[in-house]
Chain A
Amino acid sequence: MGKLRENIKQYGRRFSQLIAAVLYNCNFKGFLSGKIYKGESKGLCVPGLNCYSCPGAVFACPLGSLQGALAKTAIKIPMYMLGTIILFGVLFGRLICGFLCPFGLVQELVYKIPGFKIKKSRITKTLSYLKYVILGVFVIAIPIIKMLPGFCKYICPAGSLEAAIPLVILDEQLRSRLGWLFSWKMFLLLVCVILCVICYRAFCRFLCPLGALYSFFNPIAFFGINVDKEKCTGCNACISACKMDTKKVGDHECVHCGACRDVCPEGAISYKRH
C-alpha cells in the first residue's frame, strides 16, 4: 500500500497529463483520414491548450474559442466562453497547466532531452510577464479590433504541432496552399521546441496566454497546492526545488506540480480543497 502511494505520488501527475491528452484527442481515425471530428462534443471546451483542428480533437480549444467569440464582441458579449474560462479558473487555477494540459506534457517530455539547461533567474522571472502582454495583444486586442484570432494565427505552437503538421501531411489540397504564414509558424514551433529543451516549460512560463488567464484565479481556486502556515518554517526549500518562476508556493506562476511538496522537510505542503 505504501509503495502504491509512493508510485501515485511519483507518476500521478504524468498519468493525469497522459489521460487528458488521450481523452482530448480520442478521435484516432482522424489521424489516418486527415479529417477533423464534427460531433456535438466540439461545442464544449477542454481546460488545457489543445487545438480543435487537431484531427484527433473531440472538444474545442478554450483559447481558440475565446478569440473566436471575442472577434464577435461588436455583435454580442461572449458570455459562454467567458463563463467557461472563469469556471475552469476558479475550480483549478493553474493546476490545469500542471495536470491537464497536453502541451505542458509535450514541453516536459522535451525537457528530458539531455544537454545544456537554463535555470530560473531574474531574467526568466522578468520574461514570465511576457505572457500577459501576449494575452492582452494577441488574445484580446487583435480579435476585438481586427476580428481575427491573433494568437492562433501568429503564435500558437500547439496548433502548428497538433493541427498543421498532421493535416498538411495527410491533405494534399492544404499542402498546395502553404505560404509564408505556415513557414513562420513552423519556425516558431522549432524555436519553442529548442527553448523547451534548454528551459523547463519555456512556452508555458513565458508565452502561454491561457496560463496567464488561469494565473489570475490561482489565489481563489478551489483545488490546488496549499501550505500549512503553522508547520512552515520559511526554509525556502520549496522555492529552490520549483522549476517555475514562483516567488512563493501557489502564486501566479505555480502550476501545482507538487515538486515543493516532495522536498518540504516539515511536510507543510499538500494538495487540498481550499
Chain B
Amino acid sequence: MKNRKKIIGIIVLLLALGLITAGIMDGGLFEVKTKAVTICQECIGLG
C-alpha cells in the first residue's frame, strides 16, 4: 500500500515536471508574469 502510494507520487511528480517544462516552452511562464505585473482589477473589486 505504502509502496503503491510512493509509486503514484513519483508518477504524479514526473507528470507535474513534464507539464511545467511543456508549459514554459509554450509561453506559460511569460503569461503568468504578464498577468501578475499588472494590477488585477478583479482582485481589488474594480473588474
Binding site for B on A (CB under 8 A): 36-38, 40, 42-45, 51-53, 57, 59-61, 64-65, 68-69, 72, 76, 78-84, 86-87, 90-91, 148-149, 152-153, 156, 159-160, 163-164, 167-168, 174, 177-179, 181-186, 217, 219-222, 274
Contact = CB atoms under 8 A, between A and B. Distances in A.
Contacts of B6: 274
B45 A164 contact: yes
Given A148-B47, A152-B43, A68 B9 contact: no
A86 B32 contact: no
Interface of B: 2, 5-6, 8-9, 12-13, 15-24, 26, 28-33, 35-40, 42-47
5 contacts: A76-B26, A81-B32, A87-B13, A159-B43, A174-B44
Contacts of A81: 23, 28, 32
Contacts of A91: 13
B18 A65 contact: no
A80 B5 contact: no
Nearest to B24: A80
A54 B4 CA distance: 41
Contacts of A177: 46
A149 B26 CA distance: 21
B46 A53 contact: no
Given A42-B36, A43-B36, A168 B44 contact: yes
Nearest to A66: B32
A159 B46 CA distance: 12
Contacts of A42: 32-33, 36-37
B24 to A, nearest CB: 6
B20 A80 contact: yes
Contact of A53 (B17, B21, B31, B39): B39
